Amino acid sequence: MSKDQLASVAIAMTAKGKGLLAADESTSTIKKRFDAIGVESTADSRRDYRELMFRTDEAMRDYISGVILYDETIRQNAKDGTPLVKLIEAAGSIPGIKVDSGAKPFPNFPGETITEGLDGLAVRLKEYYDLGARFAKWRAVIDIAEGVPTYGSIRANAHALARYAALCQEANIVPIVEPEVLMDGNHSIERCYEVTELVLKTVFEELYLNRVFLEGIVLKPNMVVPGKLAPRQASPEEVAEQTLRLFRNAVPLAVPGIAFLSGGQSDVEATANLDAINRIGPTPWAITFSYGRALQAAPQKAWGGKVENVPAAQKAFTHRARMNYLAALGQWSDTQERAVA
């Protein structure tokens, strides 16, 4: 393990204003996205779509610090034969890789899941490093419902996250630690705070016990928000206040950066909440974004699988990336959101 290398990459991943593009949708997930826009999901169509983003010069150069890839994508070449990883590197971004194999039903814990993928991970990480990956992602999923989550499931997922993180660092790969408390359901923002606090404190306890180098990780948490079906929703200012209060109670100062997941929020909602959080500052951590749908929904719709729509899709991607760049600086506004990119 090179602590200097890990710390350097973690800092670069959360560089001022820049954020991560989560382009690591599994084959089944991206098929759902493509079905919604009437595009057949094939290896070539998935490649073409992701290539158009990686070739969007302004977005990749100025607003995106790194890209989380799926196993298929890190091995693919662009139409001209250039490895997609090389396109990302040429834009000044860092390639990363999703390494978990998904959340599966957790035996004896009805309604809860455990993320799998530890078997053989050390070998896969070495291969991914050779393919160009300098960071990785593992997502633990925590639901809120009647009697859920249980401490047993939280502890099990936190332990898996810590084992993954330790294996990553041994391979000189920065681990993104992603414990996601889902915003599904009708729970209040106070309930989200309560669950997220327990999750984060348990995760950092497990990271400590597994001797994970905190200066060489990036935390990818949910914001503190009410459930989507909650009768009372929260303003960006309330989300920001609750989220930062929680982090000051639960996140060690050694962590260099926090890159939020969008977690089912709309494009603009995720941007507005990120902006409100950064307006409160300063914080001891760099605070930015690691968005998938909140960056990609607009370009996917503009593209529609047609070559002639690539410029429009790239324009939409640049606009969304720039809006989140401004939000990561605490400088976003509705006026800029409505402006033509």
Which amino acids are annotated catalytic? 178, 220
Q: Tokens 């401490």 — which residue?
A: 151
For 52-124, list the strands marked E by DSSP.
Answer: 64-69, 94-98, 103-105, 113-115
DSSP states of 119-156: TTHHHHHHHHHHHT--EEEEEEEE--BTTBS-HHHHHH
CA dist list (Å): 63 to 16, 91, 92, 121, 254: 9, 10, 10, 31, 25
Cα separation, 296 vs 43, in Å, equals: 18
Q: Could you write out the DSSP letters of every residue in 242-311?
A: HHHHHHHHHS-TT--EEEE--TT--HHHHHHHHHHHHHH---SSEEEEEESHHHHHHHHHHHTT-GGGHH
3-state SS, residue 2: coil
Cis peptide before 252 (omega within 30 of 0): no
To the nearest 10 degrees (0 to 180), the angle between helices 267-280 and 310-328 is 30
Could you give the count of Cα atoms lying within 13 Å of 116 in the half-sphere of its Cβ?
Answer: 9
Could you give phi then psi for residue 69, rounded to 5 degrees?
Answer: -110, 160
